[in-house]
């Protein structure tokens, strides 16, 4: 399905040149907040020109303070519901079902991996307690729908920055709204979040996979990584465990395998 969200490109908001970046296969959509002031003191003031100003400020900060070549995120969603491209090449990549390697969600410890290979959305504001306005919320939903469509991302893999890194981003309030965001995106896509929810299998991703990988490791069937990505190594570890306890060796974690593992 095509990417349909309206996005102001890096050329249009006057980004500094940054060269090209590697394309990646995205598995998540990562939600952030910019930690800027909220309305009525927001930088963008809900305008297009204000959004462009904020995008330039963030890029300058990421280059000067973090020593990056470009903005660390892929998209910026302002208080006025205006969406701007972040890292150069992002818009073209997502239209092809890919993403641009970014710098918005490194993995810390046994948290989810793959954040920087997936689109990161900065939402203007600080959402620890402040509630996002409807315009900004609607544009966030619309952008997530487009990304799920074009990049074949399951809406249940819309995740918060704190699930990847040791941070309070995207703020307590916004993090608490992610189930609602996933549900609204799924409804617009005409899909169900409950489909195959109980099964863990090849290509499953998420915190429940990290728990599975830890349980396998504890029982002596290490999948090598505890990264929340059910790859071939995890499948083989599951098969080895299933064989050891006399279960069908299909590499799928259903009811019986969950029970045997203590999940």
The single-letter DSSP state of residue 205 is: B
CA distance 223 to 221: 7
Q: What is the DSSP string of 35-63?
A: --PPTTS-SSTTSHHHHHHHHHHHHHHHH
User: Average pLDDT of the chain?
Assistant: 94
Global pTM value: 0.84
Structure tokens at 180: 């609602």
Structure letter (DSSP) for residue 6: -
Strand partners, 30: 120, 159
DSSP string, 222-261: --S--SSB--HHHHHHHHHHHHHTT---SS-B-HHHHHHH
Residue matched to tokens 């993090």: 175
CA pair distance 249, 125, nearest whole angstrom: 49
Cα–Cα distance measured from residue 145 to residue 161, given in angstroms and rounded to the nearest whole number? 19
Q: How confident is the prediction along the chain (263 residues), in pLDDT tens digits per residue?
A: 789 999 999 999 999 999 899 999 999 999 999 999 999 999 999 999 999 999 999 999 999 999 999 999 999 999 999 999 999 999 999 999 999 999 999 988 878 888 999 999 999 999 999 999 999 999 999 999 999 999 999 898 999 999 999 999 999 999 999 999 999 999 999 987 765 556 888 888 888 888 899 999 999 999 988 888 898 999 999 999 999 999 999 999 988 999 999 98
């Amino acid at each position: 399905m095509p990417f349909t969200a309206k996005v102001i490109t890096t050329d249009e908001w006057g980004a500094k040149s940054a060269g090209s970046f590697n394309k990646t296969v995205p598995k998540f959509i990562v939600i952030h907040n910019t930690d800027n002031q909220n309305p009525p003191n927001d930088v963008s003031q809900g305008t297009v020109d204000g959004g462009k100003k904020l995008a330039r400020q963030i890029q300058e900060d990421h280059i000067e303070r973090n020593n990056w070549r470009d903005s660390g995120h892929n998209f910026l969603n302002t208080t006025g519901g205006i969406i701007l491209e972040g890292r150069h090449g992002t818009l073209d990549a997502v239209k092809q079902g890919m993403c641009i390697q970014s710098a918005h969600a490194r993995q810390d410890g046994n948290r989810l991996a793959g954040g920087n290979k997936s689109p990161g959305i900065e939402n203007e504001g600080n959402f620890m307690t402040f509630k996002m306005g409807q315009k900004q919320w609607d544009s966030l939903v619309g952008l997530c729908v487009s990304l799920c469509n074009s990049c074949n991302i399951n809406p249940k893999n819309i995740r918060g920055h704190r699930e990847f890194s040791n941070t309070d981003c995207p703020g307590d309030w916004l993090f608490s709204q992610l189930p609602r965001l996933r549900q609204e995106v799924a409804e617009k896509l005409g899909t169900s979040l409950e489909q195959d929810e109980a099964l863990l299998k090849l290509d499953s991703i998420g915190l429940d996979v990290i728990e599975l990988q830890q349980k396998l490791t504890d029982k002596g069937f290490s999948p090598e990584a505890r990264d929340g990505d059910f790859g071939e190594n995890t499948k083989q570890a599951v098969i080895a465990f299933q064989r050891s306890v006399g279960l069908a060796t299909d590499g799928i974690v259903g009811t019986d395998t969950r029970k045997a593992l203590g999940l």
